[in-house]
Structure 1
């Protein structure tokens, strides 16, 4: 099947636009309002196009994936979140809320407005209505996360409907109720299976429903400034029941064994039959469908010591409870650690080609380079946008973590729940089981310092659930949303760190005992490496503090930090930075009834 372009009606312009389809749908014809939506085949063609506009696998790009969260040490590209926490975002320069933002909603509502004339099997018709409502729910979920209150539109607006076009925002509570109604319809009507897992199914709808319910339940619980704490339990309970339905009836399971089993989820060329994948982005060399996942390694970003510190020791104890954990060098960081650490951050001696030379880490990026999603098989790496690994969009591990967190936050958790969720993830990689009584008996002090709002009888286990979620789902696009819903945005104000450097001079970063790189004050002072053998000095890669890209926390030793954080300090303004402003032009010119989110007035 070859690449094709879909043709969509763009309602606002009464024209058409083309979208490349990464899921390789088969088109029928140009879509117009007068002669389309007559058959279920029309609905199939139209909804196929909605996939390309909204849901994609999240794997590498920092803005899309970990969104410049505390999982990231440094990002050299352009990031809204980075700009936000340095005070650079204003209503005058922010983007969004324009034709491009609302076009997706218009496309969805256009179909829902016209589906009443479709003839055929009503079960199939309801299925496609459910798919459209699934995508509308996802659209509005992202809008609520970004702006809080937003205007809800359930139909396409014509040119003469000025009153509706100029409506004020609807309250968060009303919008979330409408989102949940869309998802409930989708979960009840989208069919359990289609040709393959590259389509939305009942289980995909339930996964999104559980994700949204957990997000809103915890957001209301911890964001007391909203005054919605009393309604949090309803959402948490729905997160439990939706995820439990998947666990009981979906036929999914945690797959693979050990580090290799975990790695296979992110670098396989065929996940079509994988029982852990609920919704998939399929890539295929023969069909010319590719991704760009090789750029996770040493392109524009690296991962943080904050992330690395939360991976447990292999005996199940916290790394941060080890004496001197802050001064563990790069070579020693991975000793006796959760195997998922080495599947997330590049280890000493890592090679990109079997039999090749070890890849050298870079201190000017912090030293913790990402390998999760990196195609280890060179045959799957063909260059820029020429990688052929399949990419999960929804996977079963998220469902398990949703289930256990929602139960813990709602106060219904027991050891059996932990065994059915977190401990399945730990068992895969050979990690010790989490014990409910032990976790609550002695909450981890390091995590408690990060999340001071966590209190109560389940404090210890909630902290451990947050650890497990961060570790298992690292680099998959969850971390920023998690910090926001837990009201832990202040962690974004902390300067991220990289690897520990004991002193200026040569450093072994491949594990063979020979210095591979050197950190020096300047090109004028190479005294720290004067005693190295000549052949070592000839090959060593040098980095200079005087270049200004990075610093060491203690001057000539310590954790790698970044000069940008000194020149442009980070700050997180509560509760203002939990939302983005609406562009001033939209407020002043397009709709004067719009008001800014809290703090942006």
Structure 2
């Protein structure tokens, strides 16, 4: 199977770059649009063109779009030296693209104003329709239609998450159809109702198995549907106050996740670190879909290299994230009765916090991190032991070969329990202890690897509805249950796809303002005299700063090294530019608005960006 998947991704470049040629003009070979659509194997081959765009994994070579660690580093969880990266402050000159290359707007965690993938999905659907009579049977027709509709729904979900209202197309638009080509944006909810219809069709018609578990199948699709419908359901609730639509989308998120969970195909049988550093995820029962890499075929990436303790992490985990990790007695550190739980140095946090803390971060402050908190989540245990020596290709440069989990059970169960908890606030059934046991507590029951056990790491106690922690940092408008569900996501998905999209859909982007959340401007607790004596040099006078527990700032002056104990303040750190609620959605480019005007049409600008 690994070789099949490598073949899929090797073909992606050929397929995506040749797609327009294949569909729009006669081929120079015998394969062209007139004779290609003749068999199910050709449909499968065409579908592979979507894989690298939606199942990115660790990307490839030096690519970072939609890749963990290197692509997802803009949120309240991560900080840097100097001025913090900002949201847009004005509409861009241009934003359109027609390329099928993977592209990502980092500050929106989604694609640019690009409808090439919508068109590709619609082309696929229309060609499948042409094959219905004779070339494929009804079962195959239903399956491949579901595949195409899944990708169309996925793309529209991403576009809507970035721009809100977007023009909706359910067919291939010809050049002469100017009124359609230049129609204005359709209402977000109308678009997402169409996406909902596509996803319902997928759940009813896609094969549960297409010959190999790593081909797109109903379990994989359902997992992503749970993600995308959770996003839209909570957006409808918190941004649009549309309870009816919120319920509709959240109910589909629940049923899609139910389908995966009830199958019995997946389970929490792996330690956390092995999900990300393994050279072979084929036997990992938590992984629903993964991307395999193979150095011999030059299918590699660079994400492990940036977890190897040597490469710098300019965008690094901050104090706000570190404080959010639950203690292993299932209480926030302020309420925990564990010895030294309230001492926020890595020495004690490694053994008092949920095991994911130790599996995510290095055990001591590292100068290679801008906050001194270094993430080594995306490399195996052996890789970090080579620090200070020569790394083999699997741990260096862009020649990494550890597999990437594309979708895993933990996300499905967290999507499921959050959707159920949100539905309960709108008249649905209350979340039960059995629901918590099947989701959060199942995750907490993951096995620990031997190295973690030797360090004294312990599993986190179960979350109990009868004894929910009352976190003193909890937002007053969020229930204790939802707060703990959100915390679980935050611990689970550090540097993955989730955090920025989560705080956007919850309408909590204010977490990214230091005036509201000063801990985003701080790093981990450090004792410079003990841990970094080499920094105590004249060049660092007036540069090194720490903050004491009481908020006092200590600046190194050459004589006070013994006082440099506290939360590290990254060098020259300053807040990002002020922003307003308009940044929840991205503006379109001025050139695109002008292009519409030149054709006699109007393209509306995103509200707030006019």
TM bucket (normalised to shorter chain) is: 0.7 to 0.9
Tell me the residue number matched to 2:603.
Answer: 594
* 1:314 is aligned to 2:328: yes
Q: 1:283 to 1:517 in 2, by over 3 A?
A: farther
Tell me the residue number matched to 2:276.
Answer: 266
CA–CA separation in structure 1 for the residues paired with 2:467 and 2:287 = 32
Q: 1:518 to 1:195 in 2, by over 3 A?
A: farther
Does the CA contact (< 8 Å) of 1:443 and 1:461 recur in 2?
no
TM-score (normalizing by structure 1)? 0.80
Where 2:162 maps in the other structure, the secondary structure is helix
CA–CA separation in structure 2 for the residues paired with 1:364 and 1:343 = 17
Shift of 1:295: 3.2
Shift of 1:107: 1.7
Shift of 1:124: 1.9
Residue-by-residue CA offset, 1:366-425 (whole Å, 9 max, x unaligned): 111111112334467253221111111110111111111111111120111101111111
Shift of 1:583: 0.8
Tell me the residue number matched to 1:491.
Answer: 511
Q: 1:500 aligns with which of 525, 528, 531?
A: 525
Q: How does 1:265-344 map to 2 (within 5 A)?
A: 265-297=275-307, 298-299=311-312, 300-321=314-335, 328-344=344-360
Q: 2:591 aligns with which of 570, 585, 590?
A: 585
Q: 1:443 to 1:380 in 2, by over 3 A?
A: farther
Does the CA contact (< 8 Å) of 1:192 and 1:202 recur in 2?
yes
Q: 1:160 aligns with which of 164, 176, 186?
A: 176
Does the CA contact (< 8 Å) of 2:68 and 2:303 recur in 1?
no
Tell me the residue number matched to 1:23.
Answer: none
Tell me the residue number matched to 2:372.
Answer: 367
Shift of 1:561: 3.0
Q: 1:282 to 1:480 in 2, by over 3 A?
A: same
In structure 2, runs of 5+ residues without a counterpart are: 101-113, 384-391, 448-458, 515-519, 548-552, 556-563
Q: 1:466 aligns with which of 486, 507, 518?
A: 486
CA–CA separation in structure 2 for the residues paired with 1:62 and 1:115 = 34
* 1:571 is aligned to 2:578: yes
TM-score (normalizing by structure 2)? 0.79
Shift of 1:551: 4.5
Shift of 1:43: 0.7
CA–CA separation in structure 1 for the residues paired with 2:572 and 2:606 = 29
Q: 1:564 to 1:106 in 2, by over 3 A?
A: farther
* 1:83 is aligned to 2:86: yes
Residue-by-residue CA offset, 1:38-93 (whole Å, 9 max, x unaligned): 2212211111111123331258756874341122122899xxx9331xxx442134
Tell me the residue number matched to 2:567.
Answer: 559
* 1:438 is aligned to 2:467: yes
Does the CA contact (< 8 Å) of 1:375 and 1:387 recur in 2?
no
CA–CA separation in structure 2 for the residues paired with 1:105 and 1:117 = 19
Does the CA contact (< 8 Å) of 1:290 and 1:386 recur in 2?
yes
Does the CA contact (< 8 Å) of 2:82 and 2:570 recur in 1?
no
CA–CA separation in structure 1 for the residues paired with 2:68 and 2:82 = 10
Does the CA contact (< 8 Å) of 1:268 and 1:389 recur in 2?
yes
Q: 1:307 to 1:31 in 2, by over 3 A?
A: farther
Does the CA contact (< 8 Å) of 1:192 and 1:203 recur in 2?
yes
Q: 1:56 to 1:421 in 2, by over 3 A?
A: same
Residue-by-residue CA offset, 1:100-140 (whole Å, 9 max, x unaligned): 52222222211212222221222123222211211111111
* 1:403 is aligned to 2:416: yes
Tell me the residue number matched to 1:72.
Answer: 78
Where 1:559 maps in the other structure, the secondary structure is strand
Tell me the residue number matched to 1:148.
Answer: 164
* 1:416 is aligned to 2:434: yes
Aligned positions, number: 526
Q: 1:369 to 1:63 in 2, by over 3 A?
A: closer
Where 1:381 maps in the other structure, the secondary structure is helix
Q: 1:418 to 1:150 in 2, by over 3 A?
A: same
Q: Which moved more, 1:161-170 or 1:552-561?
A: 552-561
Shift of 1:142: 0.8
In structure 1, runs of 5+ residues without a counterpart are: 17-28, 349-359, 509-515, 524-543
Does the CA contact (< 8 Å) of 1:65 and 1:478 recur in 2?
no
Shift of 1:174: 0.8
Q: 1:436 to 1:65 in 2, by over 3 A?
A: farther
Q: 1:295 to 1:240 in 2, by over 3 A?
A: same
Residue-by-residue CA offset, 1:225-274 (whole Å, 9 max, x unaligned): x2423421222222212111211125211112xxxx11111111111122
